[in-house]
Amino acid sequence: MDNRPIGVFDSGLGGLTAVKRIINLLPHEDVVYFGDTGRVPYGNRSRETIIRYTKEDIEFLLKYDIKLIIAACGTASSVALDDLKPLFSVPILGVLEAACSTAATTTRNGRIGVIGTSGTINSGKYRELILTLLPTAQVFEKACPLFVSLAENGHFNTDVVRIVAEEYLSPLKEAGVDTLILGCTHYPLLAEAIGSVMGGGVNLIDTGDEAAKFAKRLLDERCMLSDSDKTGTCSFFVSDSIENFSVLGSTFLGRPIELAVHKVSQ
């Protein structure tokens, strides 16, 4: 048993998709979240910068005696984790493995779409992993850089999101994908708009959600689940103003988080 907290980070709000699932699946775990809102977005930055930011995010969380880190960021997971994991002794989970494994085992027609930031799509990591798991798959990728800014500004299912989604997603729809990996953890915030463009037959895979399920299995296998009988606590740290994050985060998590959000300099 290990009652230390789980650390989760993202460039902003997106990693809350993983936190929401952790609260639900592992209600006795404490969670420390870091959203690097002062430097969001990561997805259009150079590889070197994404690696540096990701390293700093991990180092920040390690101050809280963390037992497991979830890099709840598709960009950090695909661009930086291969380089950074060997530098730390704490287990670090990215979001790619669980999402690709679910996509590979649930697709019916083998046509899998992946959307993500430019950094994620250019890294080719999702494609590589899907083809390792299912060599006969056909993978269709599309960078959707505007989605992160829309989500960070509270546009979850508005007309502007639907117009942008139509523009980005029509090639994937035409390709006949039956499974779409939301390869950036911000995108589930826009899932209604994305789902309405793709149509009901397309299975949307939420990478934050899949990573949380994977984390539960991993902690269980390693006998690292908390044995506390109290409801776990959640603390949130951001590197820019707390107001926007608190309001949007409370809406998304379905509970007020204002008092648990703190600003830090990063």
Point out the residues that are catalytic: 73, 184
Could you say which of 54, 185, 226, 239 contacts ligand DGL (CB under 6 A)?
185
- Contacts with ligand DGL: how many residues (CB under 6 A)? 16
Provide the angle, in degrees to the nearest 10, between the axes of the packed helices 191-198 and 159-174.
40
Q: Is residue 11 part of the contact set for ligand DGL (CB under 6 A)?
A: yes
Whether 36 contacts 60, CB under 8 Å: no
Q: Looking at 41-49, 107-115, 166-174, 215-223, which segment touches ligand DGL (CB under 6 A)?
A: 41-49
Contact positions with ligand DGL (CB under 6 A) in 107-126: 117, 120
Count Cβ neighbours within 10 Å for each residue of 60-97 and write b for 16 or more, e otherwise.
Answer: bbeeeebbbbbbbbbbbbbbbbeebbeeeeebbbbbbb
Q: Is residue 188 part of the contact set for ligand DGL (CB under 6 A)?
A: no
Q: Is residue 37 part of the contact set for ligand DGL (CB under 6 A)?
A: no
Task: Give the C-alpha separation, 13 to 38, whole Å.
Answer: 12
The minimum distance between CB 85 and ligand DGL, in angstroms, equals 17
Whether 237 contacts 35, CB under 8 Å: yes
Handedness of CA 156, 158, 164, 170 (dihedral sign): positive
Task: Give the C-alpha separation, 210 to 257, whole Å.
Answer: 23
Q: Is residue 5 part of the contact set for ligand DGL (CB under 6 A)?
A: no
The minimum distance between CB 33 and ligand DGL, in angstroms, equals 13
Judged by beta carbon, residue 7 or residue 74, the one nearer ligand DGL is 74
Judged by beta carbon, residue 5 or residue 41, the one nearer ligand DGL is 41
CA distances from 183 to 4, 77, 108, 196, 254 (A): 29, 10, 19, 18, 23
The minimum distance between CB 120 and ligand DGL, in angstroms, equals 6
What SS3 state is found at 92?
strand
Structure tokens at 62: 């390690």
Contact positions with ligand DGL (CB under 6 A) in 129-168: 148
The minimum distance between CB 50 and ligand DGL, in angstroms, equals 9
The minimum distance between CB 54 and ligand DGL, in angstroms, equals 11
User: Which uninterrupted H or E stretch holds 38?
Assistant: none
Which residues would be at the binding site for ligand DGL (CB under 6 A)? 10-11, 14, 40-43, 73-75, 117, 120, 148, 184-186
